[in-house]
């Protein structure tokens, strides 16, 4: 089994039987469930953390038999230790999901039962409201003559195209930066979290900004990523947010202005202008309506008409 699908951080703390099935579990998540590399690493790290705790907590090598003997106080002690170590609630919520995933995999093979771990409730995450940028503020910013005075014109055009795209589609920054030039169209397929596919619609004003950027870019973008940096390499999310952080002071943007704030603004402004919640859910690519409910409840409309008729920039 490759190191990629092994718990090497706790290899000397777990028995051979558990080592084998833990590797099969990781491979199952990667190959069958098609989890992203980032999610896979998080699940792996969470389970390694649990097994390391268990080894110290019980004072013995961690085996399938030991996992099968655990009671609810053992799991609660683990969560308490994570909180003591300063890990935040959201991290603990994911850790519980990671551990339950491993146990469910072992249960399918009739190696452990789920009775004890099923009693473990996920910690409650404090509800944080999204922070959109005000409509007037964001539109004035989008239409600024330039963003940084010393930038080359194609860099200004690139940034404007990116900001318009984020605000007019609600794309996550990672989704926007993964777009290939050849895929740009009024209706595009986007693969979001968990490789979930959705259709994203580009308003004419967005296509116009993208075309202006492409026509002035000194690099050939046809066979690669749409958004690139000065050296012709793919633009990275930390770079985008670092630039936006500097632009906050120049354009008096709010402290929370970031690439993700464009996504919040997209959803909030659609709803403020009359879009219904389920349509916004589809546009954002949220799996659960609960994730979209933070933007408020309103009446139901046709999703395409919502986008064309109610987004502020669609009225231009």
Domain ranges in the chain? 3-119, 135-315
Reported as a single tens digit per residue, the pLDDT across 61-75 is 999 999 999 999 999
Reported as a single tens digit per residue, the pLDDT across 79-96 is 899 888 877 677 888 889
Q: What is the DSSP string of 181-236?
A: GGG-SSEEEEE-GGG-EEEEEPPHHHHHHHHHHHHH-SS--TTSBSSB-TTSSBP-
The predicted model gives 292-301 an average pLDDT of: 47
Catalytic residue numbers, as ranges: 172, 193, 260, 263, 286, 295
The third-level CATH classification (topology) of the domain covering 3-119 is DNA polymerase; domain 1 (1.10.150)
32-41, 214-223, 227-236, 291-300: which range is least confident on average?
Answer: 291-300
Selected residue with higher pLDDT from 87 and 260: 260
Which CATH code for domain 135-315?
Answer: 1.10.443.10
Structure tokens that stand for 98 in this block: 């990671």
Taking CA atoms, 159 is separated from 106, 237, 254, in Å, by: 48, 12, 19
Whether the per-residue pLDDT at 216 is higher than 80: the answer is yes
Reported as a single tens digit per residue, the pLDDT across 129-177 is 667 888 889 999 998 899 999 999 999 999 999 999 999 998 989 999 9
């Amino acid at each position: 089994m490759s190191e990629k699908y092994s718990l090497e951080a706790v290899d000397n703390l777990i028995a051979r039987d558990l080592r084998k099935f833990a590797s099969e579990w990781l491979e199952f998540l990667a190959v069958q469930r098609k989890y992203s590399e980032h999610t896979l690493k998080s699940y792996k790290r969470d389970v390694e953390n649990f097994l390391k705790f268990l080894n110290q907590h019980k004072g013995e090598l961690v085996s399938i038999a030991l996992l099968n003997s655990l009671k609810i106080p053992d799991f609660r002690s683990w969560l308490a230790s994570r909180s003591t170590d300063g890990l935040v609630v959201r991290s603990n919520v994911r850790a519980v999901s990671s551990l339950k995933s491993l146990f469910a995999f072992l249960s399918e093979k009739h190696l452990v039962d789920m009775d004890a771990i099923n009693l473990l409730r996920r910690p409650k995450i404090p509800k944080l409201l999204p922070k959109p940028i005000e409509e007037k503020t964001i539109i004035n910013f989008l239409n600024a003559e330039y963003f940084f005075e010393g930038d080359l014109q194609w860099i200004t055009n690139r940034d404007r195209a990116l900001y318009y795209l984020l605000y007019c589609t609600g794309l996550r920054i990672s989704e926007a930066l993964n777009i290939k030039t050849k895929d740009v169209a009024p209706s595009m397929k986007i693969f979001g979290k968990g490789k979930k596919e959705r259709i994203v619609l580009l308003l004419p004003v967005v296509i116009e900004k993208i075309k202006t950027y492409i026509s002035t870019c000194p690099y050939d973008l046809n066979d690669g990523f749409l958004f690139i940096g000065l050296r012709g390499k793919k633009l990275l999310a930390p770079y985008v947010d670092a630039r936006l952080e500097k632009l906050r002071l120049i354009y008096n943007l709010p402290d929370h202005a970031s690439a993700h704030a464009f996504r919040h603004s997209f959803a909030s402004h659609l709803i403020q202008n009359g879009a219904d919640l389920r349509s916004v859910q589809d546009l954002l690519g949220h799996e659960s309506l609960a994730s979209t409910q933070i933007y408020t409840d309103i009446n139901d409309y046709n999703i395409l008409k919502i986008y064309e008729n109610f987004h502020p920039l669609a009225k231009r």
